[in-house]
Structure 1
Amino acid sequence: MAQQFLVYQSMWAMERRCPDGLEWSLDEKLAMIRDAGFDGAGVRFADRSFVKPVTDFLRAHGLSWQAQAYPQTVDDLKPIIEHVLEFGADHLNVQPDVRPYRLEECFPLIDGWRRLAADAGIKMQIETHRNRMTTDLLFTLQLLDHYPDLRLTGDLSHYVVGREFWYPMTDVDQALMHRIIDNCWGFHGRVASREQIQLQLNFAQHQGWVAVFMAWWERGFRQWRAKAGANETLTFLCELGPPEYAMTGADGYELSDRWQESRQLMQQVRDIWHGVSTD
Structure 2
Amino acid sequence: MQIKFFCPKWGSDGITWDNFCAKVKAAGYDGIETPVPFDAGEKKDIAAAVTKHGLLLIVQYYQSFEKGFEAHKINFKKHLENLTGMRPLLIDSQTGKDYFSAGQNRELFEMAAAVTADSGVPIAHETHRNKALFAAHVTQALLTENPDVRITADFSHWCNVSESLLEQQQEAVDLAISRTIHIHARVGHAESAQVTDPRADEWQPEVAAHLLWWDAIIQQRLKNGARFTTITPEFGPAPYMPALPYTKMPVANQWDINVYMMELLRKRYAGKITGK
TM-score, scaled to structure 2: 0.87
Q: What is the distance in 1 between the residues matched to 2:271 and 2:228?
A: 17
**In the alignment, which of 192, 202, 205 is matched to residue 202 of structure 2?**
205
Q: For residues 62-92 of structure 1, give each alpha carbon's deviation from its aligned partner in whole angstroms, at most 9, with x where no partner exists.
A: 1111111136544434444544454311011
Q: What is the distance in 2 between the residues matched to 1:181 and 1:13?
A: 28
Find out whether 1:42 has 2:33 as its counterpart. yes
Structure 1 residues 77 and 136 mapped into 2: Cα distance closer, same or farther (>3 Å)?
same
Q: What is the distance in 1 between the residues matched to 2:261 and 2:224?
A: 25
Which piece of structure 1 moves more, 63-72 or 35-44?
A: 63-72
- Give the match for residue 262 of structure 1: 258
Letter in 2 for 1:36: A
Shift of 1:52: 2.2
Shift of 1:4: 2.0
CA contact (8 A) 1:70 1:95 kept: yes
Higher relative contact order (CA 8 A, sep 6+): 1
Q: What is the distance in 1 between the residues matched to 2:82 and 2:224?
A: 29
Alignment of 1:212-227 (within 5 A): 212-227=209-224
CA contact (8 A) 1:74 1:113 kept: no
Question: RMSD in angstroms over aligned alpha carbons?
Answer: 2.1
Which piece of structure 1 moves more, 90-99 or 216-225?
A: 90-99
- Give the match for residue 20 of structure 1: none
Q: What is the distance in 1 between the residues matched to 2:139 and 2:198?
A: 28
Shift of 1:100: 3.4
Q: Number of aligned pairs?
A: 264
Identity of aligned residues (%): 23
CA contact (8 A) 2:160 2:189 kept: yes
- Give the match for residue 30 of structure 1: 21
- Give the match for residue 9 of structure 1: 7
Structure 1 residues 65 and 201 mapped into 2: Cα distance closer, same or farther (>3 Å)?
same
- Give the match for residue 237 of structure 1: 232
Q: What is the distance in 2 between the residues matched to 1:198 and 1:103?
A: 28
Q: What is the distance in 1 between the residues matched to 2:156 and 2:271?
A: 23
**In the alignment, which of 43, 51, 58 is matched to residue 50 of structure 2?**
58
Shift of 1:13: 3.2
SS of the residue corresponding to residue 6 of structure 1 reads strand
Alignment of 1:125-274 (within 5 A): 125-165=124-164, 170=167, 172-199=168-195, 200-229=197-226, 232-250=227-245, 251-274=247-270
CA contact (8 A) 2:61 2:80 kept: no
Q: What is the distance in 1 between the residues matched to 2:161 and 2:44?
A: 35
TM-score, scaled to structure 1: 0.86
Q: What is the distance in 2 between the residues matched to 1:255 and 1:275?
A: 34
Which piece of structure 1 moves more, 93-102 or 50-59?
A: 93-102
Structure 1 residues 241 and 122 mapped into 2: Cα distance closer, same or farther (>3 Å)?
same
Find out whether 1:118 has 2:117 as its counterpart. yes
Shift of 1:43: 1.5
Q: What is the distance in 2 between the residues matched to 1:63 and 1:26?
A: 12
CA contact (8 A) 2:21 2:53 kept: no
- Give the match for residue 90 of structure 2: 91
Structure 1 gaps of 5+ residues are 16-22
Q: What is the distance in 1 between the residues matched to 2:84 and 2:145?
A: 29
Q: What is the distance in 2 between the residues matched to 1:71 and 1:206?
A: 31
Letter in 1 for 2:8: S
CA contact (8 A) 2:109 2:149 kept: no
Q: What is the distance in 1 between the residues matched to 2:192 and 2:266?
A: 25
Q: For residues 108-141 of structure 1, give each alpha carbon's deviation from its aligned partner in whole angstroms, at most 9, with x where no partner exists.
A: 2211121122122221111110011111221111
- Give the match for residue 19 of structure 1: none
Structure 2 gaps of 5+ residues are 65-71
